[in-house]
Every structure is written in C-alpha cells, then in structure tokens.
Amino acid sequence: MLTRQPAPALHLVVAALLIGALAAGWPSGRVWRRVRILVTIVHEGGHALVAVLFGRRLTAIRLDARSGGVTETWGRQRGLGVRLTAFAGYPFPALAAAVLLRATVSGWSRAAAAAIAVVLLVMLLFARNTRGVLVLALTTAAMAASALWLPNRLLVILVSLLSGLWLAGAARTLMEERRARRHGAATDVSALAQRGVLPGALWWLAMWLPVGYAGWVTLTQFVAGPTAGR
C-alpha cells in the first residue's frame, strides 16, 4: 500500500484541484457550508500538532454544529509555544494542501491518504463531544478505506480535491475571521492580540504569508509535476 504509484496525469490533478477550490470559493456559500468541516478538522489539527511540538499537552478537540471547532491544550500561558499554537490553525490547511499535492504528483497519493487516516485517528482519540466523535470517526473510516481499496486514479482525484479544498478553504476562513472579529467574535487572531506584542491586524496579515507560500508551492507543482512524478 505504501509503495510509490505511477505519476498521475497532470490534467487530472489540475481538474480535481480546481473543483476542490471552487467548492470552497463558490460565492453562494451553500457548498461551502457542507464542506467547511473538512477544513475545520485540518485547522484544529494544526493547533494540536504545534501544541504537541512545543511541549503542550493536548486535552480535547471539539467540533460544533456550525462547522467550527475548538482545540484545548494545557501548558504555559505565555511564550512562543502558546502563540504559535494559536497562530497555526488558519494557515495549516493551506500548508497541508501543498504537502498533499506534492505527494500526489510524486506518486505517493496512497501513502498520503494512509497518513491522513492515521492523523484523523489520533484526533479521534481526543474528541470530547458527540459531533466531534461522529465526524472524526466517519472521516477516519473514509480515508482508511480509500487508502486501502480505492483505485489509484480515483485516489488521485480524491487527494487532489482535498488539496484544492484545503488551500482555498484556508483563504476563505481567514477572510471570514476578519468579518467575525469586526462583529466582536472571539477568534484565534483576537486571542493573539490580547496577548500583546502585535495588534490583531498584523497577526492576520502574518497568517497570509504561509497561505501565500502554500499557493506558490502548489502553482509550481503544475510546472514541475511531470518531472516530480518520475
């Protein structure tokens, strides 16, 4: 299962990537409301991963009925670790999309799907509300089944769709964050601003840097795709 597959047809990857991006960016928002939870899961996964890397203890992951989420960690209330944990959520789906796409054009889509299933399973262990358990259980099962049994061509389409959704979804959630903060909602950016050092607007702009970088890396895959796949 973890062996390298033949390089996928670039047009197939591009088409699926664009469809995934359209699902996140469609103006009406109807599609977005149905797929946003897939971006939220990666957002919360970003918080969890960075928290653990900086020595914080992951205590809970919750997903709510409006496709939002909360990741709870325990540790020092000051310092770089707590700030980067809060910072990681919004850019993480875009960075994950770039990595996933690189794996796809290099012939490692099945290994990437298996890795996603493992990460989802770990997140499931920390789910602390009913919706979180159900959503994470279903997505874990779906990704595990895809990694095990989905034909390679269909698996390429699936991971490319996810790449497009996560990349465009990261940009859309950042735009939604700004509107929410203007209406007084508590967000990761407002939490960072309350800790001092930088105002919320600068934290928000800083989050666009990794998102833009992920977009650039994604774009270069189209140019280098055939070479990377050999």
Tokens representing 160?
């490319």
Contact indicator for 36, 53 with CB cutoff of 8 Å: no
Q: What is the pTM of this model?
A: 0.93
- Nearest CA-CA partner of 94 in 172, 210, 219: 210
Give the span between the Cα atoms of 215 and 168, in whole angstroms: 9
DSSP lists the bridge partners of residue 69 as 63
pLDDT value, residue 5? 86
E strand intervals along the chain: 57-63, 69-74
pLDDT value, residue 223? 63
Residue 29: band (very low, low, confident or very high) from pLDDT cuts 50, 70, 90: confident
Residue type at 102 in one-letter notation: R
Tokens representing 41?
């899961």
pLDDT value, residue 22? 96
103 DSSP 8-state letter: H
| Span 126-154, average pLDDT | 97
pLDDT surpasses 90 at 227: no
Give the span between the Cα atoms of 61 and 130, in whole angstroms: 11
Give the span between the Cα atoms of 11 and 222, in whole angstroms: 9
First-residue to last-residue Cα distance in the chain:
19
